[in-house]
Structure 1
């Protein structure tokens, strides 16, 4: 899957890129700002975006998610400690991974997102298939 990584903390961003690539994903980024994120998507939009909410340029990952959804129909997963803000954007996001998180949480959350993108209803996913620290949203945009 082609995944955009938007994370302004360099070490976390590099870790995400590394684990996603090792799991066989094509990774766009990392991007630390909204401008960088959208520029990376111009030629070939991602299939999924993994977004921090607080970004370096003062923009929000929620704004990035709305732009990605509006321009290209790209679904997002937030990876953030700002869970309340993430929930407020549940209309355009698949869910939120609560920071701090384990590598396995990220990979299993992407698997759950893929199932939803392939047509599964979020509420029908077995709770045991969802990793600890991942909240999937019942209504997705």
Structure 2
């Protein structure tokens, strides 16, 4: 599942996932869309941007996804400074991939997370 408010970026991520053999259960641009999609699609992994549409905050959404569904996120954001990482630590992220990143970097990061996702 991809949570990204920039339409073009979300399309690029979705295409990279599918080309890498992964299913993308959907894309959400807001907190409410992300929570609804997670509840209905049961994703194994959430790729989460920090800044979302409106006043929505990816860190808070990641915490809610963790609390409600036991989902952990891979943060994909240009905002990866120390203060942001410290603020996001309570969401127990699987990791960070700083924008801009290539499709190959995304797929390599996901491959490295397979054991944490129970896909050994």
Taking structure 2 as the reference length, what is the TM-score of the superposition?
Answer: 0.88
Report the RMSD for the aligned CA atoms in angstroms.
1.8
Structure of greater relative contact order (alpha carbons < 8 Å, 6+ residues apart) = 2
Q: Aligned partners of 2:27, 2:80: CA distance in 1, in Å?
A: 21
Which blocks of at least 5 consecutive residues in structure 1 are unaligned? 121-141
1:77, 1:96 within 8 Å by CA — same for their partners in 2? yes
Q: Aligned partners of 1:52, 1:105: CA distance in 2, in Å?
A: 16
- The superposition leaves residues 40-93 of structure 1 with CA deviations (integer Å, 9 ceiling, x where unpaired) of 122232111001100012111111111111011111000001113134323420
1:31, 1:37 within 8 Å by CA — same for their partners in 2? yes
Runs of 4+ aligned residues of structure 1 deviating over 4 Å after TM superposition are none
The residue that corresponds to 2:26 in the other structure is 29
Which blocks of at least 5 consecutive residues in structure 2 are unaligned? none
More helix by proportion, 1 or 2? 2
- The superposition leaves residues 84-125 of structure 1 with CA deviations (integer Å, 9 ceiling, x where unpaired) of 3134323420111011111111101111121233399xxxxx
1:78, 1:86 within 8 Å by CA — same for their partners in 2? no
Q: How has the CA–CA distance of structure 1 residues 111 and 36 changed in structure 2, closer, same or farther, with 3 Å as cutoff?
A: same
More strand by proportion, 1 or 2? 1
| Corresponding residue pairs, total | 117
2:25, 2:41 within 8 Å by CA — same for their partners in 1? no
